[in-house]
Structure 1
Amino acid sequence: MDHDADYAAYVRESWSTLVRSAVFLGCPLHEAEDLAQTTLVRCYTAWPTVAAADNRAAYVYRMLLNCLRDSKRRRWWGERPAERLPESRTTVVRDDTADVDTADAVHRALAGLTKINRDVVVLRYFTGLSEQQTAEVLGVPAGTVKSRLSRSLAQLARDAHLADLRPEFQPTLQPEPTEGATS
């Protein structure tokens, strides 16, 4: 496969995961799409290196994190996005209220984590990287990833924003006594 076709296939395969990861790293959707695009542009300019990487996913997600850090460091004096986009003329049939509520709760809960712990959770669970790949992206030992995940998941389990997403408390049913058993 030639250079451009290989790259195009990679973009089609990874676009939605890169955008989703950027959203869970704290970017609004429009910034997440810009961040994914910037990451993929950097991938294109270094495609021979990216394609030859032992762990392409870790390499690309490291680029994504670096692009995010770069975007937070610089000041932008150019155009600002509008607060509200114009309404489209298409009719929306599906009510996404529950999805929005769930996403909001998850975003609020993730915002309660430290930056490094949020990065670990997003890379491991929302991006689907293994513990070893996450460790490579962050440049830390795999044991550090495990301990950060453990602390982060414990904190998320206690988070009030996620309380409404948990199934209602169901009392444990006691087994019925067997015949001849005395109580």
Structure 2
Amino acid sequence: MRSRDDRDRAAFDEFVAARSGSLLRTAWLLTGDHHLAEDLVQHALMQVARHWERISTSPEAYARRTMHHQHISLWRKRRFSETALSGYDAAQPAADSDLRLSVTEALARLTPKQRAVLVLRYFEDLTEVQAAAVLGVSVGTVKSSTRQALGRLRVLAPELADLVGVES
């Protein structure tokens, strides 16, 4: 008979195998850099492993929240410079590579906070209240940041207006 530690380890290993690709895509959207994305996922998975017994009912939510918080901490501390996104193919190829490149380049030109809000709202499909909770800000801040980010995207990449049904 397997011990509880062995069962926990097996469940964690299954979680990592099943969800690490999705976590990496989200981390890449947040950071715009493959290496930083891998670091975010690795940090999140270490936290998940450390707290597995307590969070085993919702490890993915915990991992995503950890990634978002770690990303916010990084850009608050370092205010690192933005890098152009190129050459990275997110694990699920899009049908239209030109569109994918346009979205990628447009996201890279947003501030880290604007990118985080858009990723949470439109890629993670969180509500304004959920996004505010993840980012540790008010709902009003999420609303205004979303409005500002979308406005900036309209200026930076007017060709993306068709994605949201907005006329330029």
TM-score (norm 2): 0.65
Structure 2 unaligned segments of length 5 or more: list them.
Answer: 79-86, 88-92, 164-168
Counterpart for residue 125 of structure 1:
122
**CA–CA distance in 2 between the matches of 1:31 and 1:116?**
16
CA contact (8 A) 1:17 1:127 kept: no
| Mapped partners of 2:136, 2:160: distance in 1 | 35
| Identical residues among aligned pairs (%) | 33
Q: 1:137, CA displacement in angstroms? A: 0.9
- Number of aligned residues: 144
1:19 aligns with 2:24: yes
Could you report, residue by residue, the CA deviation over 1:41-92 in whole angstroms, capped at 9, with x for unpaired residues?
2211121333367x962x3223113443566768xxxxxxxxx9xxxxxxxx
Partner of residue 64, structure 2: 61
Between the aligned partners of 2:21 and 2:129, the Cα distance in structure 1 is 22
Counterparts of 1:56 and 1:12, CA distance in 2 = 12
- Aligned CA RMSD, in angstroms, stands at 3.4
The alignment status of 1:49 with 2:54, answered yes or no, reads yes
Letter in 2 for 1:119: A
Greater relative contact order (Cα 8 A, min sep 6): structure 1 or 2? 1
Q: Which residue of 2 aligns with 1:113?
A: 110
Q: Closer, same or farther in 2 for the Cα pair 1:96/1:151, shift >3 Å?
A: closer
More helix by share: 2
Amino acid at match of 2:46: V
Q: Which runs of 5+ in 1 are unaligned?
A: 75-83, 85-94, 168-183
